Amino acid sequence: MPELPEVETTARGLKKKVLNKIFIDAWADAPKLVKKPTSFIDSRERIKGKRIKKISRKGKNIVFELSESHFLLVHQKMTGHLLYGKWEMKQGKWVSTIKGPLKEDPMNRFLRLIFFLDNGFQMALSDLRKFAKVELHQLELKMDLGPDALKADLKKVFKGRKGRIKSVLMNQKVLAGIGNIYSDEILFFAKVHPLKPVNKLKPAEIKRIEKAMKRVLKKAIALKGTSISDYRTVLGGKGSFAEQRKVYRKKGEKCPRCSNRIKRIKVGSRSAHFCPKCQKL
């Protein structure tokens, strides 16, 4: 699932390509991805003629502020990613007219929504499993999110909280932007066990987590995110943070710090990867 670095990379990439462009039409083969206001057909008619005035990231969501007080929200969920390019219909399938990853990478071929722009290009949502969420709001956009992970003061965020640190880091209502990949990496650098209760953390541990969080997320943004499975940048390429991972999906491999074997456990319904020697409970 795209997390803060992937969504931030996407938002920045789209700012360079679609800001101030006008929606002229839309197409969908998975209209149920559009959750609001009522249907894809309704949203399609409302979005026509709207100019993209601003693009921002809210947690793991991309928000397009449009003319006439409209907001388009896209949550890419598990396997979705937004692309910018040109496609044409051939034998019932959309095919990129631009050579390179948009055309050659199979992860970019699952086009579910296409927004046609006034410059002759399109913005498309590729989503293998059709889990993404698209909403069109008018007048205001309310989101139940905690402070953004890039700016959060964890001493305040954790105050009065209970629960295991891995789960708390991933709770979007507590802290916005972090998921499975980066929670593992952050806790590794902070030398904190994923099962440690938040209310048992020492001040020094909280400081280490906050420092690691901002360090890891900023580095991942600089490397355009993690493309282990489905995620791609707006031009269809891969992010390169996967090569920098220390523990995520590295069960059985040697810890880069102490050479102990990385373990994998369940925390709630999610996996956690950690070094049992460096990250003691």
Confidence of residue 136 (pLDDT cuts 50, 70, 90): very high
CATH top class, domain 4-138: alpha beta
Query: From the candidates 15, 21, 130, 270, which is the catalytic residue?
Result: 270
User: Is 151 a residue of the active site?
Assistant: no
| Token pair belonging to 268 | 């709630």
Task: Tell me which of 44, 46, 50, 60 is the catalytic residue.
Answer: 60
Domains 4-138 and 154-274 share a fold: no
Contacts of 280 (CB under 8 A, 6+ apart): 193
Q: What share of the chain in percent tops pLDDT 70?
A: 100
Q: Assess contact for 233 and 13: CB atoms under 8 A.
A: yes
* Cβ-Cβ contacts under 8 Å for 166 (sequence gap 6 or more): 183, 184, 187, 194, 195, 267, 270, 272
pLDDT at 40: 85
> Is 15 considered catalytic here?
no
- The confidence band for 251, taking pLDDT boundaries of 50, 70 and 90, is very high
Inform me whether the pLDDT recorded for 87 exceeds 90. yes
User: Is 2 among the catalytic positions?
Assistant: yes
SS3 assignment, position 73 = strand
CATH number of 154-274: 1.10.8.50
By CB neighbour count within 10 A (0-12 exposed, 13-18 middle, 19+ buried), where does 153 fall?
Answer: exposed
Alpha carbon of residue 142 to chain centroid:
19
3 is catalytic: yes
Mean pLDDT of all residues in 84-105: 96
End-to-end CA distance of the chain: 27
Helix (H, G, I), strand (E, B) or coil at 50: coil
The ranges assigned to domains in the chain are: 4-138, 154-274
Rounded distance between C-alpha atoms, residue 274 and residue 191, angstroms: 9
Residue whose entry in the numeric block shows the structure tokens 């008619």:
45
Indicate the pairing of strand 34-36 with strand 133-138.
Answer: parallel
d(CA 159, CA 164): 14
Note the pLDDT of residue 196.
98
User: Can you read off the two tokens belonging to residue 113?
Assistant: 């929504």
The confidence score (pLDDT) of residue 229 equals: 87
Predicted TM-score (pTM) of the model is 0.95
Q: What is the pLDDT of residues 1-48, one digit of tens each?
A: 799 999 999 999 999 999 999 999 999 999 899 988 877 888 899 999
> For 183-198, how does the pLDDT look when each residue is reduced to its tens digit (9 = 90+)?
999 999 999 999 999 9
Residue 139 in this model has a pLDDT that exceeds 90: no
Instruction: Tell me how far apart the alpha carbons of residues 227 and 215 are, in angstroms, rounded to a whole number.
Output: 19
Strand partners, 96: 87
